[in-house]
Structure 1
Amino acid sequence: WIHSMIEDQVRNHPIDGVMWCNERNSPLDTLIQGGAPGDFSEPARKEAAERGIDVERCRQALLHLYDFMQEAAAGKQFPDGPLITFLRVLLDNPEALIWEKFWLERNKDLDRELYGLVKWCKPELPFGLNVWNRNHFNPIRRAQWPWTEQTLYADFVKPITYQHQAGEVWSRELSFFRTTILRDFEPDEATRALFRILGLNEAPFAELVATGMDPDSYVHGQCADALRGVDGKAKVYMGIGVDAPRTLPETAKCSRDIVYRSVLATYRAGGHGVVLAPNYASMHLTHLDGVAQALDELGQK
């Protein structure tokens, strides 16, 4: 169905390009969020067996990890703490990583297939990837989605940096880890450590939701990271948040100044352009004026 939808759009409509959004949770990602890992459907099991994977051993390994995550979330005390215990359970059950890798490759296969389909229909039509902000907020996902690999099946990438919403997104991401493997860390303590690992330099945790992330550090930094990663093999169009959804009343609100500085930060970092997101219907025109002002100053209009 997805193949046919993309082919129809490419062949029968005068579009300028295709941007594919792939936002799915892997088995390990799902476990950390408190869910049951998958996909053990019959097609997945059949393909895994064809690749020489022992499906049942992988399933049992993930069940051990699931039991640990449930115990950690329920507050069980571990002699060595939840982080060391998690690593021990993972090392005792390496088949869980085999299934994680299998799932990840199948997920990326769809990206590759769609890239090939677009190029088969119209070789000159650009195909790009909408890159989840969780990929730069989660160290596991960041390791799993290297920029250089994505250039093999994308002409451009669009990192999501919805700056005013980013504090809320970070808070939710951190809560997954603090429920289980980072349960012993205070929010600001965990934030500072993870920021250092991920190369982020933003407000303290207590202020982050209300202030969002600063365009001059966050948007600029993520654009620079992406450019280093793609190394000239793909273009980088930054996903600038304009009135992205807020699910908490204290979440920072978008403004003309935030949008204006985000566009300037993109071009200052060397980005090739911007994509205004996530939904035009929800954007305030006065905030879009910030885009126009920035592009005018940059001579891009």
Structure 2
Amino acid sequence: MQIGAVSFTDEGVGTVLDSVQDRGAANAILLSAASWLRGTAGRAHTGFPDHGGQEPDDFKGGAYFRPNPVYYGDTPVKEFQAPEKEVQGFDILADVIPEARKRDLKVYPYYCERYRTFPNPTSIAGYRGLLEIDHLGRKASRPCLNNPGYKGLMHGIVEDWCKSHDIDGVLWGMERRGPLTNTLDGDMPSCFCTHCEQIGHREGVDVRRARDGYRELAGFVRSAKAGQAPRDGYFVTFMRLLFAYPEILAWDSLWTRAHKNFAREIYGLVKWIDSDLEVGMHLWQYINTYDPFLRAQYDLSELTEFADWIKPVVYHTPAGSRFKRYVERHTKSIWGDFTAPELLPFLYKILNLRQADYEGLADAGFSPDYIRDEIRHTVQACPGVPVYSGINVGVEAYDDERPIEPEDVRDAILASYEGGAEGVILSRNYSETWLKNLSAAGDALRELGKA
């Protein structure tokens, strides 16, 4: 079960651990020990379940453990503890691990990247020096994967976890995307900092033309979103840009390789410290399900090179509305030749999905069959590496998302094991989970003889 610090300070360490173990049949906890993502470390903020705090917390993000300064000499960021009043004086590792060990629970701290940094850590001294630079030379909102200071920060966090605490391993969450898919979704293309440009020059990519190409691509998407239809159609115009500026794909390829190499470095660092520690990889649903560009860029078989186990995210009940929104956004981008109801079956076909039609998609969500098929696909791509299905038991539902019910949880667990999963990770965060759904998970696991 994934748990953030605020749940422990709201309810008490023993209460939370007993709940996830007794109700959810959990044998391991994944602690959001560093996060700038409310969804993994804060309270829910669009409604509160039947436990924990019943009002929004003052979520800002940062470290929810006490960093040891000795491990942060390679980064300009020296002070980054989470400032929320709800967690002051609490250390999610030092204060939780002893109680977890009393209950024979395994412990994995984890960090989940985000394609957008939200909230922005503007209060953290030195963080601005880690940010990407966009195609116009402006600071962007995300840290740069090639920036030595950012590498130093993340490597320091992982080393601190592994050397300072009695843990069983680390979960690294891969939820980033490169300049191409960011631009197609209406974001600004990045990164063009000196570190990235040096790599581009070394790899033989014309940096100036890459920057010019992304300027043209960003302009095309901006016009499309403003309703200005290109003379020769949206997709043809997009392809014309790629033919005119092959550096667009080359630059995106450099970024994607850097992203995968970052995960490789995390894996190698953990194994260097202690070869018995496990490294899990959390795989974003946009990579393994929603986005055909990301799915093409991330061959799942590569994960076997830097993961002891894999957690593909398969949140099925909100998937209908989320994928519907993805379709709608991209009819105002490169797929503008389609209406949203026309584009949906096309994307279903190329992504090998079989789900509800456009009008019923948000209410239906994705079916449990989706989970079974997605897990089977991951198992086949990664032979010999255990797959733990990342199912939702409480991802907060926005207005157009179907909230999950106990029968959905049961169906998700059964489908996971049908697909070949060796276990399930109850997600996204204990603070978002209704206790009836946690109990449904435990009941299903006991029914299957898995607990």
TM-score range, shorter-chain basis?
Answer: over 0.9
Alignment of 1:86-125 (within 5 A): 86-125=238-277
**Per the alignment, in what secondary structure is the counterpart of residue 213 of structure 1?**
coil
> In the TM superposition, what is the alpha-carbon distance from 1:19 to its structure 2 partner?
1.0
Whether contact under 8 Å (2:177, 2:294) holds in the other structure is no
Cα distance per residue 1:184-221 (max 9 Å; x no partner)? 31222211111111111111121111221112x11111
> In the TM superposition, what is the alpha-carbon distance from 1:115 to its structure 2 partner?
0.4
Q: Which has the higher helix share?
A: 1
- Please tell me the residue identity of whatever aligns with 1:234: V
Corresponding residue for 1:25? Answer: 177
Corresponding residue for 2:168? Answer: 16
Structure 1, unpaired ranges of 5+: none
Alignment of 1:79-228 (within 5 A): 79-135=231-287, 136-215=289-368, 217-228=369-380
> In the TM superposition, what is the alpha-carbon distance from 1:272 to its structure 2 partner?
0.9
Whether contact under 8 Å (2:286, 2:294) holds in the other structure is yes
**Per the alignment, in what secondary structure is the counterpart of residue 179 of structure 1?**
coil
Corresponding residue for 2:120? Answer: none
> In the TM superposition, what is the alpha-carbon distance from 1:38 to its structure 2 partner?
0.6
- Please tell me the residue identity of whatever aligns with 2:234: P
For 1:27 and 1:168, locate their aligned partners in 2 and report how far apart those are by CA, in whole Å: 25
> In the TM superposition, what is the alpha-carbon distance from 1:55 to its structure 2 partner?
1.2
For 1:75 and 1:284, locate their aligned partners in 2 and report how far apart those are by CA, in whole Å: 42
For 2:400 and 2:199, locate their aligned partners in 1 and report how far apart those are by CA, in whole Å: 46
- Please tell me the residue identity of whatever aligns with 2:394: D
For 2:379 and 2:156, locate their aligned partners in 1 and report how far apart those are by CA, in whole Å: 32
For 1:39 and 1:233, locate their aligned partners in 2 and report how far apart those are by CA, in whole Å: 35
For 2:304 and 2:327, locate their aligned partners in 1 and report how far apart those are by CA, in whole Å: 29
> In the TM superposition, what is the alpha-carbon distance from 1:268 to its structure 2 partner?
1.1
Corresponding residue for 1:294? Answer: 444
Residue 234 of structure 2 is aligned to residue 234 of structure 1: no
Corresponding residue for 2:409? Answer: 259
Report % sequence identity: 33
Whether contact under 8 Å (2:234, 2:336) holds in the other structure is yes
**Per the alignment, in what secondary structure is the counterpart of residue 205 of structure 1?**
coil
Alpha carbons of structure 1 residues 250 and 37: separation in structure 2 relative to 1, 3 Å: closer
- Equivalent pairs counted in the alignment come to 298
**Per the alignment, in what secondary structure is the counterpart of residue 313 of structure 2?**
strand
Give the number of the structure whose alpha-carbon radius of gyration is greater.
2
- Please tell me the residue identity of whatever aligns with 2:187: G
Residue 208 of structure 2 is aligned to residue 56 of structure 1: yes
Corresponding residue for 1:243? Answer: 394
Corresponding residue for 1:5? Answer: 157
Q: Pick one of 426, 432, 439 that aligns with 1:282.
A: 432
For 1:96 and 1:104, locate their aligned partners in 2 and report how far apart those are by CA, in whole Å: 12
- Please tell me the residue identity of whatever aligns with 1:86: F
**Per the alignment, in what secondary structure is the counterpart of residue 235 of structure 2?**
helix
Whether contact under 8 Å (1:32, 1:176) holds in the other structure is no
**Per the alignment, in what secondary structure is the counterpart of residue 331 of structure 2?**
helix
- Please tell me the residue identity of whatever aligns with 1:90: L
Whether contact under 8 Å (1:20, 1:128) holds in the other structure is yes
Cα distance per residue 1:133-176 (max 9 Å; x no partner)? 00111100000111111111111111111111111221222133
Structure 2, unpaired ranges of 5+: 1-152
- Please tell me the residue identity of whatever aligns with 2:389: M
TM-score, with structure 2 as normaliser: 0.64
For 1:145 and 1:169, locate their aligned partners in 2 and report how far apart those are by CA, in whole Å: 20
- Please tell me the residue identity of whatever aligns with 2:427: A
For 1:49 and 1:264, locate their aligned partners in 2 and report how far apart those are by CA, in whole Å: 50
Q: CA RMSD in A?
A: 1.3
Residue range with higher mean Cα deviation, 272-281 or 161-170? 161-170
> In the TM superposition, what is the alpha-carbon distance from 1:109 to its structure 2 partner?
1.5
